[in-house]
Chains A and B, each alone.
Chain A
Amino acid sequence: MYELIILLSKYLFLFYMIFFIWQNIKMILTKKEIFHFNQKKCVFHQYIILILFHINAFLILAFDSETTSFEPETMLVCLFGIILFTIANMVLRLTYPNSDRLIWNSILFLCDMGLVMLQRLKPELAQRQLLWLFSGFLIVFLMPFALNFIKDLSKLKYLCLLLSITMLLMTFFFGDTEGGAKNWLTIKNLTFQPSEIIKLLFIMYLVAELAKPKLKLISIIVPTFLSGVVILFLVFQKDLGSALIFFITYMVVIYITTSSNLILLLGILTSAVSSFAAYKIFDHIKIRVATWINPWQDINNSGYQITQSLFAIGTYGFFGSGLKKGLPTAIPIVERDFIFSAICEEFGIIFAIGIILIFITIFYSCIKIALVSRNRYLSVLVSALTCLMCFQTFLIIGGVIKLIPLTGVTLPFMSYGGTSMIMCFIIFGIIQWISTLNERTYQCQNKKRR
């Protein structure tokens, strides 16, 4: 019976996914004024789907076929999940009036898929992740008060710069090494990844410098130099993923603000030369590239992780093995970097493609916010933050499917990790806050016109 339910749920999960994406598409079409669907209905449907998905998955996970009973601890996680999503759904409307509901709902759905997968892989991590989710939401809920108080974020640029450089130096001198990269910092009992925080702070500084209406040469050179320093530090800490994300985001910001093809070309040239140099100098980069080209050669050591990931993706095909029926735990650090492979294995490739589509719709909506914004600084800030998230998503998914060499970064909202989770929430809090500002100015103008 249990087997049959798992089998049926496999197709049910796919239905939830397709239905959810369909609602996203409906909302986008309505916004583009191509079709007119009832937005509120779409949002409500998505909420229902989210809860159904959550309950369905947790019932399967909580069931113990040996004792034919449900584990109480898992059911508790399930219950807290429902409470969290319901509160989030109601409360975010208050502090973010008229923000983009598509983004909120999609984020919740991604978080839930991550939570379900963590419960499947390592139940104790799911409980902690739930805690991170709660704190993330609390911060996001309170953020608008602080942001409305500050109003002009660009004023904070030197503070951002100072903080990010302090953190960078602290990691460099006091950092802990995990998984080959020295990117952890412990203050008392709190362990966190400073590079996640530096990413946000430094980009806020960068955008403040570069989004000035009349750009002078000196205000390009100084941020460029500082970005170079940050990237070099990250490379020396072997945190290649973060270094790459930094570089790409820097390039995007400078391209958007200067629209200079020359700078774009220079950037591509520098990246080609420096990646070649890095390849020649650093052994760990050489190993990464070698395992990317042929992981089968050293399947016992350096190629083990990626080949296990490929097995997870490839073995069960389009529809997956069914929840609890695969073997995603065979991949080392599956809960952090390889959560996408675990989902591919148990939910199937079509479901996984659905996740990618959800990410695309989120980023599309974010870029729309950037395009609508009248404030030059905020507009560039939104697009920079979007590109940051976008590239991070590409880097890790591309890495685990062996499209590009693997760099250990987290998959936004899905991987296990407190720092990453909270920073993702803050980034989207800022984006959504800007979205509410846009709506406010839009409504003001409409009033004036009348």
Chain B
Amino acid sequence: MPTVTINTKYFSNLIGSVEIKKAIDQISKLGVEVAGFDDNEITLEITPNRPDLFCAVGLARSVKNFMHKSKKFRYAIEKTDPELSITVDNKVNEIRPYISAIIVKGMAFSEHALSDVINFTEKICEIHGRGRKRIAIGLHDMNKIRQPLYYGLYTDEKFVPLNEDKEMRYSEVIKNTEKGVKYGNIIQNGRRGYPALKDQEGTLALIPILNSNRTKVTHKTKDLLVDITGTSKYLTNKIAWLIASVFADLGCKVYGVNIKSGAVEEVSPMPDDREISVPLSDISHELGVDLSFNSAISLANKMGYYGVYLNEEIKVHVPEYRLDIIDWQDILEDFAIAYGYDYISAVNVPSSAKGSISEKNTFFSKLSELMVGLGFTEALNTYFTDEESNFKKMRTEEIDHVQLLNPKASTITMMRTSLIPSLLRDFGLSSNEKMPQRFFELDMVFSIDGRKPIEEYNLGAVSIDPKSNFNNIKAVVESLAYALDKNIKFKKFDHPSFIEGRCARIILNDEAVGIFGELHPEVLQNFRIEEPGVAFEISLARLYSDISQL
């Protein structure tokens, strides 16, 4: 979950008369996890669907709404300055086609306000921008810009990047700066040209990598240009509104920008007026309480919605900064949050039928109890292993097996094909314990048939015991077969994991369903086991064909 850290004093200023402890309490009721809170910092874990809460301004807005301290439900953009426009060259279409922009005037940045805004935009680029792939945001000092502006694809030009003192080529920025190395691959490191935003004096930004030093924003900056570039027009537009709402809440005036693309001229951001209606009865039903329309509207207001009552429905206006509202189901959740999950009364769901445990698990439970009765303790092991443990230590050849593509851990590469190696590893952990040691496991093994993955249940058991021999484990297998009423036969078999002449196959209806015998000393040694051991493993899927039909 995204973690956001905000300055406590700054946040305190933003929420005005609301007491800070109360505000923190309200925030957690919105589903935000308060991970840390002291006089300097508040650390929050916020679900990724609510980017509007990724900054102190947005959090303050929702707290004030929640406590009915604010009635600001709509955000508007001042009409555009006809002088200012961005002309888009259609060559960017294949690399990063869309740009939205806003102009912010009358900013009085405190130090905290500036870092709050910058952290906010960075977080959005990371989370919603998927590491700037889908969205990148640039802030520029408007008064340093000479209009008009162009967004296009350029050759390897020069500019002075942010916080540098000399000119660099675009290609050098990609190769030699931290941001270039990190984000260069988004534009294929410039192989097909470099997307850039330029004005009359040159480059404002190499997109989506680095801004120019010339238009750097400081706490003295009064007017800003914010550009949002990306791969989805819908998203660049929504993010423009999201940022506009933050500056509006800071008391600035926000203006639109004309975007010219070929013959098309549009104002950015495009209007984002959306209304959604939810029947009042549905809201009441969800909360388990009879709501009056007045209280429903009050709940809507708590979550920042302007709402009216019309034809027995509550019609709300979706705030411009909300990115997560797909349809009425999302609105319904906000009503529930405003009402408070703690206050939703429990209503039992009557059953229409009898419950039941699956036949498979009923059988497995019985089988496991039988194994316990035979003196074996149940083991629980990971399904993951590597070729070394699964095959080599068992002295067997590799067979087709399910392989992992991208394991983080170097110790695992595949899904196990057999239970015995898992069990042997367990013994290696407490070899000093009193003998005999007996483990069984009833769980899954994996293989591949052609291209089809096979998931099966096996029953495996190992007994490490100075006195163990072939006949002891054969007796266990016989007991099982008797209890399960299966008429099995034994057939001499040579298997590299077992001692030659002390191993047999278990045959049921002319099909091999399992194996048992005395473990080979080299296998024991491979697992650091110092006493003799016997083992068996049976395929339950072959023993019970109905079990394999999950």
The answer to whether A and B assemble together is no
Interface residue ranges, B against A (CB under 8 Å): none
